[in-house]
Structure 1
Amino acid sequence: MFPSVSLSSLTDNLVVIVTLARGKCGLSKCVTHYLVGMAVADFLVVVFDAILWCTVPIYLPHSFLNITPVCSLVVTLGSAATVVSVWLTVTFTADRFVAICCEKLQTQFCTERNAAAFLGTVTILGTLESLPRYFIYDAHYLIDNIPWGCAPKPSFFSSPAWATFEVLNYILTPCAPFFLILFNVLTVRQILASSRIRRGLYGQRNGEKHKDAEMENRRKSIALLFSISGSFVLLWVTQVVYNIYARITDIQYYSSYTDPHFITDHTAKMLQVLSSCTNTCIYVVVQAKFREELKNAITYPFKKGLWVQGVN
C-alpha cells in the first residue's frame, strides 16, 4: 500500500510540474511560481521521505542507503522537503488571502518577484531548520569499520537540548501552519460579505437572474480554500498525534515490522505522503486549462501518430 501511494504521489507531482512549467494553464506567473514550488517540494518529500527513508530499507535492507551517514542525510533532506512543502502551502494561502481580500496590497504583494523571494526564503529557512537532524542518529552496528543503520542516539531521548529542538520542530511544522491556515476562514468571510454586496448591486429584482462570472470565481475560491485546509488537517493529524504520543511514552525502537507502533507510524507517514499529492492537485486540477493541457499531453502521441510508428 505504501509503495503504491508513494508512486502515485510521485507521478502526480511530476505531471503537475511538467504541465505548469509549460506556462499554458492561464495562471499568473506569481501563482505558477508557487504551484511549481509546492509541487517540487512535494516531489522531494516523496523521494527522500517516503521512498528512500521508509520504503527502500524495508525491501532492500542491505543497500548503501542503510550506511549511517547516507541514511542520516536522507532523513535530513526528507525533513527539509517536508518543512518547505508545508510552509509553501501556508505562504501560497497567504498570497491568495491578499489577492482576494486586500485589493490595495494585491498589486504590490502578489507579484512574480515576491513569489520567487518567498520561495527562496522558505527553502533556505526550512533547510536550516532541518540540519540538526543529521546529528541525531548513530550506527546500529559496524561491518568492516563501516557504520550501518540509523538508530537515535541515547542523548536524543535524555538531552534537554534535543527535547527543546523536537518541541520547536513540532510547533513550527505542522502545528503553527494549522493556525495560520485558519486565515482561510477570514478569506471566505470576506468573499461571502463582498458577494452579498455584489448580489445586491446586480440584484435579482423582479425575478431577473444574472450569470455573474466573478461570483462563480468566488464560489470556486471558497471550495478551494476549504479543500486545502481540510486536506491538510485531516492528512497530518495522525502524524502529529502519534509524534506526541511517541515522545510521551518514550518509544525509542520498533521490535519488528509488525509492531503496532511501527504500523501506526508508517500509516501516519503514508497519509502525510498523500498530503504531498493532494495539496497541489486541489489547487491545480480544478483549473479547466490545466485539464486541457493535461489532455493534450496524453493525446499528443496519438494525434501525431507516434504510437502507430512506434508499433510498426
Structure 2
Amino acid sequence: MPVLTFHIYFTFAANLLAIVILCRGNCGLSTCITRYLLSMAVADLMVLIFEVILYEIKDSYLPYSFLNYTPVCSLNLTLLFVSLDCSVWLTVVFTFDRFIAICSQKLRAKYCTEKTAAVAVAVVSFCSVLENAAVYFIYEPRAIIDKIPWSCFVKSSFYTLPIWTAFLWLDTILTPFMPFVLIVLLNALTIRHIVLANRVRSGLRGGKSVGNDPDPEMANRKKSITLLISISGSFSLLWVVIFVCFVTVQFTDTQFLRADYNDPFTIAEQSGYMLRCLSSCTNTFIYAVSQSKFRNEMKTIIKRPLELFTHMKNKN
C-alpha cells in the first residue's frame, strides 16, 4: 500500500505539473496543440481522482465515510466514466487534428485553430456527460445499514433488460471500440503520408542536407509524428487488454466484475483496469521525453522552490 500511495502522489503531481507547464504556454507548441494537450491533462487528472482515489483506494483509508453512500458512490462512478470518455475521445480528436495538420494543407488553416480545438473539447465533454448520465441509474445499494443505502452494486436487471443491453452495446462501441479503431487508422494514414512526403522531399533535395544543416521541414515532421505516435500509441497499448475484455463480454456469457479472482477473465479484466488507469498518467512523461522545451520548463518550475529556499536560508 505505501508503494501504491507513492505512485498515486507521484502521478497526481506529474499531471498537475503538466497542466501548469502547458498553461504557461512556453513549450513552443501552437495554441491549438496546447489546448488539446491541456484538456487531455485535465481529463487524465480527473480519471486519477475519480477512479483511483475516490473509488479504488477509498475503502483502505475511508471505509465508512460518506463516499460509500449509494447516491455518492453512484455519482462518483458516473463521473469516473465521464472522465474516462473525455480522456479517450480527446486523444481521438487530437489525433484527428494532427492528421489534418500533416496530411491536408488545404484544411489545416481552417481546422487546426485554437477556436476549433475549444469547440472540439466542449463537444467531447458534453457528449461524454450525455452518454454516461444513465450510468447513475444502473447501481443499487449493496446493503442498507440504519436505513442508509450503502455501497454500489450493479443491478441484476442490467444484464437482462433489453434497454440496458442496448446501452452496454452502445457504450462498448463508443468506448473503447471506435476510438481504438480510429486512432490506429489515423496513425497509419498519417505515417504513410509522412513517409511518402519525406521520400519526395528527400528526392528533390538529392538525398542530402543543404549546408550540413538538417531539413527543418522534415525535422518538424519528425517531432510531430513522435509526439502523435507516442500519445496515441501509448493509449492503444494500455487499452488493448480492456478492449479485448469488452469484446469478449459482448460475444460470450462472461460478465464483468466477478468476485472470483482465480478466474482468468477476472484477472485479465482487473489487469485491463490497472493499465487503463496507467494510461491517464503517461502523457506527462511522453511530453518530457519528446519535447525539449517542455523539459526545460519542467526543470525551471522544479528549481524555483529550491532556489527560493536556498535564498531564504542564505539570507538568514
Q: Structure 2 length as normaliser, TM-score? A: 0.89
Contact persistence 2:86–2:128 (CA under 8 A): yes
Give CA deviations for 1:153-186 in whole Å, capped at 9, x if unaligned. 1111111111111111111011101111121111
Give CA deviations for 1:264-312 in whole Å, capped at 9, x if unaligned. 4332211001111124543564111111110001111233445753996
Contact persistence 2:98–2:228 (CA under 8 A): no
Distance 2:260 2:62 in 1: 16
Are residue 212 (structure 1) and residue 215 (structure 2) matched?
A: yes
| Residue 299 (structure 1) aligns with | 303
Distance 2:211 2:171 in 1: 55
| Residue 51 (structure 1) aligns with | 53
Distance 2:145 2:297 in 1: 52
Distance 2:224 2:47 in 1: 27
Given the alignment, which residue of 100, 103, 117 partners 2:102? 100
Between 9-18 and 147-156, report the one with greater CA deviation: 9-18
Distance 1:280 1:116 in 2: 21
Give 1:72-111 correspondences, 5 Å limit.
72-111=74-113
Shift of 1:195: 0.9
| Residue 186 (structure 2) aligns with | 183
Distance 1:33 1:208 in 2: 36
| Residue 286 (structure 2) aligns with | 282
| Residue 228 (structure 1) aligns with | 231
Shift of 1:72: 0.2
Distance 1:149 1:277 in 2: 27
Give 1:251-262 correspondences, 5 Å limit.
251=255, 254-255=258-259
Between 214-223 and 247-256, report the one with greater CA deviation: 247-256
Give CA deviations for 1:60-99 in whole Å, capped at 9, x if unaligned. 3322111100010000000000001100000011111111
Shift of 1:254: 4.1
Number of residue pairs the alignment of both structures matches: 312
Letter of the 2:274 counterpart: M
Q: 1:149 to 1:184 in 2, by over 3 A?
A: same
Distance 1:205 1:120 in 2: 45
Shift of 1:23: 1.3
Report which structure shows greater RCO (CA 8 Å, sep ≥6). 1
Specify the SS of the correspondent of 1:122: helix
Specify the SS of the correspondent of 1:203: coil
Q: 1:46 to 1:253 in 2, by over 3 A?
A: closer
Letter of the 2:33 counterpart: V
Specify the SS of the correspondent of 2:117: helix
Distance 1:35 1:265 in 2: 28
Give the unaligned 5+ runs of structure 2.
Answer: none
Distance 1:242 1:27 in 2: 37
Contact persistence 1:9–1:273 (CA under 8 A): no
Distance 1:51 1:258 in 2: 25
Give CA deviations for 1:187-214 in whole Å, capped at 9, x if unaligned. 1111111111211222246998552122
Give 1:1-312 correspondences, 5 Å limit.
3-181=5-183, 182-204=185-207, 210-246=213-249, 248-251=252-255, 254-255=258-259, 263-279=267-283, 281-283=285-287, 285-306=289-310, 308-309=312-313
Shift of 1:217: 2.1
Identity across matched positions, percent: 46
Specify the SS of the correspondent of 1:62: coil
What is the alpha-carbon root mean square deviation over aligned residues? 2.6
Distance 1:207 1:297 in 2: 38
Distance 2:261 2:208 in 1: 66
Contact persistence 1:285–1:291 (CA under 8 A): yes
Contact persistence 2:68–2:150 (CA under 8 A): yes
Shift of 1:12: 1.8
Distance 1:255 1:172 in 2: 27
